[in-house]
C-alpha cells in the first residue's frame, strides 16, 4: 500500500477506494512538539482499540465520524477526509497549559467547559487562536466553526458519560475534524489517552500521556487500564 502521510503517532495508507483510508497506529510516543520521543510496545494496539471503541460509541450516539471499522489490533479503515488544521480542545478541569498560562492550580473545576482552538502548525508550535482568527485566516467558515463548536460540546458530554462509567474523570481533550469530498465536517483523527487527560475518579491518579510527559512511569500500564475499564463499562 502507498504511504500517503506519516505523523507522530500514525501512518495513513492509500486504499483502492479513494474515499477511504487505511490508518496504522504506531508504537511511538512524542511530547513537546516531538522533542521527547520513545517507543512503547503495544501502544499502537491500545490506542487503536481505545479509539475504535470510542468512535463506535459516538456513532451509536449519533455523532458522525470518519471511522468505518477496526481491521486488526493496530489498524483501522476510515473515510478519507481533509483534516482541518485546528486542534479543538475542550476543558472541564484546569490542567496543563491552562494551569501554566493563567497561574491556576491544576485540578480546579471550571464553571463551564472551555472551548479552545489552536492552529495546527508544528513550526509555529500550534499557537492558540480565537474564533475570529480561525475564520479571518480562512481556516474555516463561520458556519463550519459553529458546527465544530456544537459537535465538540456534544462529544464532551458523551465522553464524560462514557469515561465516568469507567471511573475516569475527563479533565480535557483534543479532537480534530475533517471535511469529506462533499464538504461535510465530521469528527476525525483519534480519541485516546494520547489526546485526553483522564484521572481516576477516586484517587485522581493520571491515566494518560501526562505519565510520559512528566516521567511518572507505568505509561503503557495506564493505557491498558483505560482500555480494560472502557471494555468493562461497555459490557
Q: Which of 55, 57, 163, 173 binds ligand UDP (CB under 6 A)?
A: 173
Among 197, 206, 211, 229, binds ligand UDP (CB under 6 A): 197
DSSP string computed for the chain: --EEEE-SSEEEEE-SSTTEEEEEE-SEEEETTTTEEEE-TTHHHHHHHHHHHHHHHHHHTT--BSEEEE-SSSEEEEE--EEPSEEEEEEEE--HHHHHHHTPPTTPEEEEEEEEEEE--GGGT--EE-HHHHHHTTSS-HHHHHHHHHHHHHHHHHHHHHHHHTTEEEEEEEEEEEE-TT--EEEES--STTTEEEEETTT--B-STHHHHTT-S-HHHHHHHHHHHHHHHH-
Q: From the list 12, 30, 94, 172, which residue makes contact with ligand UDP (rule: CB under 6 A)?
A: 172
Binding mask 130-169 for ligand UDP (x = CB under 6 A): ----------------------------------------
Residue 86 is a binding residue for ligand UDP (CB under 6 A): no
Nearer to ligand UDP by Cβ, of 74 and 192: the residue is 192
What residue is closest to ligand UDP based on CB?
Answer: 96
Interface positions, 112-131, toward ligand UDP (CB under 6 A): 126
Least separation in angstroms between CB 195 and ligand UDP: 4
Quick one: 11 or 92, whose CB is closer to ligand UDP? 92
Per CB under 6 A, does 10 bind ligand UDP? no
Per CB under 6 A, the list member of 174, 206, 211, 229 interacting with ligand UDP is 174
For residue 16, what is its C-alpha cell?
Answer: 483502492
Residue 29 CB, nearest approach to ligand UDP (Å): 12
Binding to ligand UDP by residue 70, rule CB under 6 A? Answer: no
Q: Is 195 in the site for ligand UDP (CB under 6 A)?
A: yes
Closest CB to ligand UDP among residues 97, 180: 97
As a whole number of angstroms, the distance between CA 65 and CA 56 comes to 9
Q: Does 96 bind ligand UDP (CB under 6 A)?
A: yes
Q: Write the CA distances from 43 to 9, 38, 208, integer angstroms.
A: 9, 11, 12
The residues that bridge with 22 in the sheet, in sequence order, are 13, 77
**Residues in contact with ligand UDP by the rule CB under 6 A:** 87, 89, 95-98, 126, 172-174, 195-197, 209
Amino acid at each position: 500500500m502507498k504511504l500517503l502521510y506519516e505523523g507522530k503517532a500514525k501512518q495513513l495508507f492509500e486504499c483502492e477506494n479513494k474515499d477511504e483510508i487505511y490508518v496504522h497506529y504506531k508504537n511511538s510516543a512524542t511530547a513537546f512538539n516531538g522533542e521527547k520521543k520513545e517507543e512503547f510496545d503495544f501502544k499502537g494496539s491500545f490506542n487503536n482499540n481505545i479509539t475504535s471503541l470510542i468512535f463506535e460509541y459516538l456513532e451509536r450516539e449519533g455523532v458522525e465520524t470518519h471511522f468505518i471499522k477496526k481491521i486488526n489490533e493496530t489498524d483501522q479503515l476510515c473515510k478519507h477526509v481533509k483534516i482541518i488544521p485546528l486542534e479543538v480542545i475542550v476543558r472541564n478541569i484546569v490542567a496543563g497549559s491552562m494551569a501554566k498560562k493563567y497561574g491556576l492550580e491544576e485540578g480546579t473545576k471550571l464553571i463551564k467547559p472551555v472551548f479552545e482552538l489552536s492552529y495546527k502548525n508544528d513550526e509555529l508550535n500550534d499557537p492558540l487562536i480565537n474564533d475570529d482568527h480561525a475564520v479571518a485566516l480562512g481556516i474555516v467558515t463561520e458556519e463550519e466553526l459553529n458546527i465544530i463548536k456544537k459537535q465538540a460540546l456534544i462529544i464532551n458530554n458523551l465522553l464524560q458519560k462514557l469515561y465516568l462509567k469507567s471511573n475516569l474523570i475527563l479533565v480535557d481533550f483534543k479532537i480534530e475534524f475533517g471535511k469529506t469530498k462533499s464538504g461535510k465536517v465530521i469528527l476525525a483523527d483519534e480519541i485516546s489517552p494520547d489526546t485526553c487527560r483522564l484521572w481516576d475518579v477516586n484517587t485522581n491518579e493520571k491515566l494518560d500521556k501526562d505519565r510520559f510527559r512528566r516521567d511518572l512511569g507505568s505509561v503503557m500500564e495506564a493505557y491498558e487500564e483505560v482500555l480494560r475499564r472502557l471494555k468493562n463499562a461497555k459490557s
